[in-house]
Amino acid sequence: MIKNTSPMSAAFERLGIAVALLAAMVTGVGLISVFGEPPKAPVAGPPPDQELEPAPVAPGSVAPLVEEFLPQHGPGGDPVRQWADQVAAVVDIPARAIVSYVNADLAMREHQPGCKISWATLAGIGRIESDHGRYGRRLLREDARPSAPIIGVPLNGAPGIRLIPDTDGGALDGDPVHDRAVGPMQFIPSTWRKWATDGNGDGLGDPQNLDDAAMTAARYLCTGSRDLTTGTGWWSGVLSYNNSVEYGQKVFALAESYAEAGNRRR
């Protein structure tokens, strides 16, 4: 059972990030798409001879906000990245992935404060789903995308695998017969289409981009007015992501360890 005094459930309150950090992020990239209701980015089929990509967000929905709200960091640089670099030195998470998880946490504090989702919970899920975008010896690039797209196995009903016929014509997963989970947070195409969010203000809702995927995962976990600082809320959210107690236990253990490491970087 998760208690309110758990390092995970109180992760940000005990991270020691200065008030100035939170103030700086109020207009930061991670919040661009969540002033008001976060826009769900439409997706379309891949262009010829290119990697699978989502379509741009409709003109006027996000683009006017990008220039206005992009953070202008001074000589000290991005405080979130600076803190992420410190945490990455003591845990096996790329600093760029930590930035994605932290920005999603901060964005939800603005958009849906009652959820109280922790960056550490998102990191726990990201570790299990794709090793933070590093599955199959990939590297997570500075643009928050893995060095090669992450596409799961076909959901064809084989032993131990769900049966999900194709829902997107292969637009996101390249498979016109069965759906496959896509991206660092492993969304099936139908779920992505419902929840897709532009998390970094580039006008795209890209499941292969961890900024977008972490923000989308945060919104998905927080649905139904969940409070993730309660045992009921946390388990409800995580089991909705993957209905397996063993999965939830692994996420919890990882999240606890990540939160504790973050607390030490005070």
In this prediction, residues 7-18 reach a mean pLDDT of 40
DSSP 13-32: GGS---HHHHHHHTTSGGGG
**What pLDDT sits at residue 201?**
87
Between 189 and 67, residue with greater pLDDT: 189
Q: pLDDT for 69-119, tens place per residue?
A: 334 444 557 899 999 999 999 999 999 999 999 999 999 998 899 999 999
Contact predicate 201/221, CB 8 Å: no
Alpha helices in 131-244 (DSSP H): 189-195, 210-221, 231-241
Q: Which of 158, 212, 210, 202 is nearest to 180 (CA)?
A: 158
Average pLDDT of the chain, as a whole number:
77
**What pLDDT sits at residue 12?**
39
In this prediction, residues 213-238 reach a mean pLDDT of 95
C-alpha–C-alpha distance, residues 76 and 83, integer Å: 12
**What pLDDT sits at residue 184?**
97
Q: pLDDT for 174-209, tens place per residue?
A: 999 999 999 999 999 999 999 999 999 888 889 999
Q: Which of 19, 43, 21, 90 is nearest to 190 (CA)?
A: 43
Which residues fall within 8 angstroms of residue 177, CB to CB, at 6 or more apart?
A: 154, 156, 165, 166
Domains for the chain: give ranges and CATH numbers: 79-264 (1.10.530)
**What pLDDT sits at residue 28?**
32
Tell how far CA 54 is from the center of its chain. Answer: 16
Residue written as tokens 């600093």? 95
